[in-house]
Structure 1
Amino acid sequence: MQDPNSKLTLASGRTRLPAAKVQTRLSAIFQALRFDPDIAEEVAAHLVDASLSGVESHGVMRVLEYAAQVESGYLTPSGRPQVLRDDTGGPTRIEAGGGIGIPALRLAYDTCCDEARARGLSALSIRHVGHTGRHGAFAEAAAEAGCLTICLGGGNRQTWRQVAPHGGARAMLPTNPWCIGIPGGDRGPVVLDFATSKIAGGWIYAARSAGALLPEGCVIDAAGHPTRNPEDYFAGGAILPAGGHKGFGLALLGELVGEALLGPSTTECNWLLIALSAERFREAPAMAAAAEEVLDELRRCPPAPGSSGVEIPGERERAHRAASGGIVSVPRDTWTQIERLADRLGVSAT
């Protein structure tokens, strides 16, 4: 197995556990927090898969954040996503009821892709939703089913002021992620899943729980000075936008979609999901062959000095999952906090 390609500089080591054991533990914690058993199992499986895929910011450490949100009343554990259709022919909407967003995003992608396969193109919104997990997992499944998907969103910046706009020194916007997935070549779909900030907000929480330092050049403190200490972010600091004005522009578009088009947003963000059936444009074998020609040429590009070579978006996560051997690697301090949470909730060890 391999440890995740982490952005964190850890002060302590890691705990390595079988994925099945971690998933059982997390599911029990979620049920103790009053999530329905099927929701608890789905969320636990998603977090474990994110960790196995090397996306530590959206992995098992998130149980700590979700628990705090339930206990504060911010997140509604009884919330279950529903598909709402407008009888007048308006767009489909996924209503999450203030609940956790992972089952809502899964339902949204399934629904949107079903509609796209039936009529070629579909667009729907996801509202009143908590944290939606690793979008790349949903986009990958949709691409494997033959759909191109585009997901973006934002809103609720009054609650989630995380990122400074380009040229600014104060947190004003959420991280407003974008995710695009498309059927690929021989190695599977191409999935671009990114925050519009230099680092996803989850990495800040991961660093805090692990007692770790953040990468350089990603975060500023309340005075606008660069910092690697996650506590400086929580004390009035901000994350910087990815690519300067480009990340800011993408974040702004996400905010306008989430708040002006779909709003008002509650709980976390509002999302717009668009799906189209790739086979309406080109038969799957021909598209896969053409895609592989492009991707293979890029992989064979000579590596830059100090680089291991060109990586295709989405392939790193699949390779990491395959190399994990079913073992989840968690910062030791983070796992200690998860065990303390379990003990406090009366969850017995497995």
Structure 2
Amino acid sequence: MPFSSAERPGNDTSRRSEPAKRRRVSWDLLRVAFVALVLLFHGTYLARQWHPELVARPFVFPYQLGASLLLVVSGYFAAVSLRRGDVVRWWVGRMARMLPAFFVGVLGTSLFLRLCAPPGWYAPSLPDVLANLAMLWNWKPQSYTYVDAAYWTIPLQLLWFTAIFALWRARRVHGDATVRTLWLVVCLELVLLPPRLHLQSEAFRTLYDGFGLYRVHLFVAGIAVQLWSRRRIRGPHAVFLLGACAFVHLCQTRHPSWTVGLVLGIGAICVAALGPDWDRFLPAWVARLAQWTAGITYAMYLVHQSIGYVVMRRLQDHGVGATGQLLALGVLAVLLGWLLTVLVERPAHRAIMRGFDRLRPTA
């Protein structure tokens, strides 16, 4: 998932923190690029996998990379923002940023599908909507259907943020113990994978998938890059840990091409974290456009897929070809993402944090 505006470089969610730093254009560009990969995968590949009546795309991008790389970025900025101040406020801020927009996205998408889905297409029932609001898919996928399949990353991040919060509060993770914990998590995911694949135990599957172990290596990779950028671990150690994360990703997905793409994306993240900002190579208007688009990427991610498929099908019924459908998907994602950001995500976050600060005035 794209990290929210509260997690941007230079945006500090703590009331008693270091002075704000200048936004780094490199991170804005990465966020926009990774969300674009999500749109390409959904619009050119999954769209016809799930709805073969849609006309052939002018090209196909069959690589599930964007969402995975966004989880890496989320892990990186979770580590960046956590060390800045009050850990309780940090956790409340994560929840306040993600949940209101998610809830409105679920309700809005469900209503749109009920009203506008073509005959024979999925239209969520009230139990489906409630199950999606409760994020029950990973726990019982055979019983609960996604209103929008892009939602799969949301409960994973909420769980991982909460796990970091609990560990930090208990003071179990600090100093060198942080790195040992990261290795423990990666090894645990890998060791438990064969039983997950071959044990045929629904209880084991429920726990493994429900707690997000099948992608926790991506979050670990982001934290590892952040520790490397702070000189908390040396370069060879960081590369070895990131290589282990890539190996686990290959074992989980069994897609070599997806893993190669993930490695290249993590390489770009390392360059952004360790090197100079990329603004020196770009015109000012590109930086401004990247900054604006990056600020709405979380909402874009929430509302583009299911609504976009219906819009593409309706456009096809009116004679619009594949290229026009893909352009419409991009425009729709930006428009709905902007509306959800300015009407729900940002005001809800501000209101919740003001209420939190009144209830808990001292950090």
Using structure 2 for the length normalisation, give the TM-score: 0.27
Q: Per chain length, whose mean CA-contact separation is higher, i.e. which structure has more relative contact order (CA < 8 Å, sep 6+)?
A: 2
Higher helix share: 2
Q: Name the one with the larger strand percent.
A: 1
Task: Give the TM-score normalised by structure 1.
Answer: 0.28
